[in-house]
């Protein structure tokens, strides 16, 4: 199966050229197959957030190559990075980051609306279908303030899938939830992985949830230690 993500000798430093330069990632080699469901684990300060920022095209590496869906990001200008991010990547965060003035349906439609510039029937139906799949068919017109934390995270998951991205990045998606709700959210991510074929890279401190992934990728002090099944 083809790789949706490939990192080759990726390094990331901050304060480059300054008296005190800090290298956070030290030569990362990593590949994620299309449709894979993987956990990224490691202690605080290990470089997980920096790695996720690079993969999410929010920052560029200091050295090395990153390829997403076969496209090398070093060859892209900022407009190209924005386009690739919007059409290829979905994002789920610990805190849902829903837009409070918009309904659940409108929040889920937002990535497609930004991409296409106007609302379409297909866009609306895609959003309705995703909200139904996360159990919120009756909450389309509700704003985030009228939803529980677990329900808001379900909306965020639906939003991440709005463009049918081949790769979804989830940064502690259950970290702000109780264990029962966390299990439900994790099951939803797994269900979408299997039904839609999107690959998932999930940052988590929950060893129990990480054990339910296809592969566990461990980061320590800016280096990969292991990638176990």
Averaged pLDDT score across all residues of the chain: 87
Residue 127 confidence (pLDDT) above 90: yes
| Residue pair 30/7 in contact by the 8 Å Cβ criterion | yes
User: What DSSP state is assigned to residue 19?
Assistant: S
Choose among 128, 126, 172, 127: nearest CA to 153. Answer: 172
Q: How confident is the model at residue 21 (pLDDT cuts 50, 70, 90)?
A: confident
Q: Do β-strands 3-14 and 89-93 pair in parallel, antiparallel, or remain unpaired?
A: unpaired
At residue 5, the pLDDT reads 95
Round to whole Å and give the CA distance between 86 and 159.
12
Round to whole Å and give the CA distance between 199 and 32.
8
Structural domains of the chain in order of their starting residue, each with its CATH number = 35-62+76-228 (3.40.50.300)
Residue 103 confidence (pLDDT) above 90: yes
Residue 229 confidence (pLDDT) above 60: no
pLDDT in tens, 158-206: 999 888 899 999 988 777 777 887 888 888 889 889 888 899 999 988 8
Q: Give me the phi and psi of 211, to 5 degrees please.
A: -65, -20
Residue 29 confidence (pLDDT) above 90: yes
What's the whole-number mean pLDDT along residues 19-24? 82
Round to whole Å and give the CA distance between 145 and 227.
40
What's the whole-number mean pLDDT along residues 64-78? 90
Distances from the Cα of 89 to the Cα of 50, 158, 160, 182, 185, angstroms: 17, 13, 8, 22, 19
Choose among 22, 16, 6, 44: nearest CA to 204. Answer: 44
Q: Give me the phi and psi of 190, to 5 degrees please.
A: -65, -40
At residue 226, the pLDDT reads 61
At residue 40, the pLDDT reads 92
Round to whole Å and give the CA distance between 67 and 65.
7
Residue 107 confidence (pLDDT) above 90: yes
């Amino acid at each position: 199966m083809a790789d949706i993500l490939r990192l080759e000798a990726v390094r990331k430093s901050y304060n480059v050229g300054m008296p005190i330069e800090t290298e956070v990632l030290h030569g990362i080699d990593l590949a994620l197959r299309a449709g894979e469901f993987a956990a990224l684990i490691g202690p605080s300060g290990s470089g997980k957030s920096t790695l996720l920022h690079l993969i999410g095209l929010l920052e560029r590496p200091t050295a090395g190559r990153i390829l997403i869906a076969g496209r090398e990001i070093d060859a892209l200008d900022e407009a190209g990075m924005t386009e690739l991010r919007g059409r290829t990547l979905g994002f789920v965060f610990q805190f849902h980051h829903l837009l409070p003035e918009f309904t659940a349906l409108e929040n889920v439609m937002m990535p497609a609306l930004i991409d296409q510039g106007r609302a379409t029937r297909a866009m609306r139906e895609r959003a309705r279908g995703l909200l139904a799949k996360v159990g919120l068919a009756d909450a389309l017109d509700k704003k985030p303030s009228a939803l529980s934390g677990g329900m808001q995270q379900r909306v965020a998951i639906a939003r991440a899938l709005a463009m049918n991205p081949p790769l979804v990045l989830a940064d502690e998606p259950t970290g702000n939830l109780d264990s029962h709700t966390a299990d439900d959210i994790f099951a939803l991510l797994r269900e979408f992985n299997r039904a839609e074929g999107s690959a998932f890279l999930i940052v988590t401190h929950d060893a129990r949830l990480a054990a339910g992934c296809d592969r566990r990728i461990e980061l320590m002090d800016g280096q990969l230690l292991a990638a176990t099944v």
